[in-house]
Structure 1
Amino acid sequence: MTPNYAASVRGVPIPKERVAAFLNADGAASFRGAGNCATSHNDAAPARRHRQQRRWATQIVVIHELALRTCAERGLAPPDDILPMHLLTIPETDVADLGSIVAAALAHSPAARALLAALEREQEVPETAVRDYYDRNPDRFLTPDALRRGADPYTDPSDIQPYEQVRDAIARELRHAAARRAFFDWLDGARADVEYAEGHEHPGDPTHQDHEHRH
């Protein structure tokens, strides 16, 4: 008998209706907006595309559920436990950096965003790492005048903004990147507690016929 759930987390089922509700509201639009990041089969048959949409949407709903549980375990202010049904814009840079699944999960799930914010607050960036980033990337810190002139960042040190002026911005960027890595580490571990029903596997799972490795 085919189970009436899309996935289960530690034995607790996630109904197929939650995945269908997400797709019927905003999920299909998000999937299309992700373009090749979601699937490389742009001209896929409708049935095949629908299966990939369903698998993709299952991942969003599962990540939301995992994040809800982790927020509760951490004592974070509990976000609304119902997946928002209004579309939030997913920046193309996030899709490129995170993959369409994680980018969409963060866009749609307040629990995932709350967890990411908590992880970012926990990151400690050593001063040596901030300084090293500054020293290795002078092209990123050219003064406005040097940019207008197309100056070579490795020629005249006066063309580079002083470390003290950009130090805090660098630290924020490194902390943000570290939080995203921590989020991926958390997700890798949390997914170990998930079992998927047939037809709801990860889009990149090579065990199903229509798997798509690219995210």
Structure 2
Amino acid sequence: MREEDAAKVQGRPVPKGRVDALLEAVPARDRESQPEAFARAERQRRRWATQVVVIDELARQACEIRELLNSAPPSAFRGAGNCATSPHAAAPDEQPTPQAVADLGSIVAVALAHSPAARTLLEQLEQEQLIPEEAVYDYYDRNRDRFLTPAALTRGADPFHETSDLLPYEQVREAIIAELRRAAGRRAFFGWLDQARAGVVYAHGYEHPGDPSHPDHEHRH
């Protein structure tokens, strides 16, 4: 591995400069802490940022394989891996905040907030999910409290006894499909990521923050 590289992703070098660019985009907190504590936090922040950049690079390569990637090379992290041919790729002013995807865990959430390639891959995986009609109706039947009519909500109706208090299945079916497809797409994204990470080699000091081989590891997502 070259000295200027933070990692190798499927044999492709990831320069340290891409990690530095993300660190500049996501400023450090607690700068007023003790020097030793701050130094430790910065080491972990660098490893954390490396994971985000690695996800971006893995997603770029996945987009290339799926022929979703445009021809422009990455010049900075935010623009790296822009799968611009996807009709669902977010424009720069439409990028989700980490809070909007916080349930995915901090590393993946920030990757999706900063990486167009990761967002496009996730959206593509969502579109590929086939949701059986039985699963859609089962969700409707098991979550009746979510489909009460406004009038039923007002009077505090019991959704599991009076079916007339429910919005018609046909009216909410598409929304349920979208929700189930979104959840299935996220599971597919995590499955893809777990497999794809197996081909990553890290430079010293850029390992996963939870890697037990370094002394100040911590495993948070």
Q: Which has the higher helix share?
A: 1
User: Does the Cα contact within 8 Å between 1:68 and 1:79 map onto a contact in 2?
Assistant: no
- Gap runs ≥5 in structure 2: 30-35, 80-91
How far residue 61 of structure 1 moved from its aligned partner, in angstroms, is 0.8
TM-score normalized with structure 2 length: 0.82
User: Does the Cα contact within 8 Å between 1:71 and 1:78 map onto a contact in 2?
Assistant: no
Counterpart position of 1:152: 158
Counterpart position of 2:201: 195
TM-score normalized with structure 1 length: 0.85
How far residue 92 of structure 1 moved from its aligned partner, in angstroms, is 2.9
User: Aligned ranges for residues 119-134 of structure 1 at < 5 Å?
Assistant: 119-134=125-140
Letter in 2 for 1:190: A
Q: Kindly report the root-mean-square deviation, in angstroms, between the aligned alpha carbons of the 2 structures.
A: 2.3
Distance change (3 Å), C-alpha of 1:56 and 1:125: same
How far residue 101 of structure 1 moved from its aligned partner, in angstroms, is 0.6
Letter in 1 for 2:52: I
Counterpart position of 1:169: 175
User: Aligned ranges for residues 1-215 of structure 1 at < 5 Å?
Assistant: 3-24=3-24, 26-28=25-27, 45-78=37-70, 81=74, 82-84=76-78, 88-92=95-99, 94-95=101-102, 97-215=103-221
- Gap runs ≥5 in structure 1: 33-43
User: Does the Cα contact within 8 Å between 1:6 and 1:58 map onto a contact in 2?
Assistant: yes
Distance in 2, matches of 1:155 and 1:79, equals 57
Percent identical across equivalent pairs? Answer: 62
Which structure is richer in relative contact order (CA contacts within 8 A, separation 6 or more)?
1
Distance change (3 Å), C-alpha of 1:79 and 1:148: farther
Q: Look up the SS of the partner of 1:75 in the other structure.
A: coil
Distance in 1, matches of 2:71 and 2:169, equals 39
User: Does the Cα contact within 8 Å between 2:131 and 2:181 map onto a contact in 1?
Assistant: yes
Q: Deviations over 1:47-69 (max 9, x none)?
A: 11111111111011111111111
Q: Deviations over 1:126-174 (max 9, x none)?
A: 0011011111111111111222223222232222111111000000000
Counterpart position of 1:36: none
Distance in 1, matches of 2:137 and 2:199, equals 40
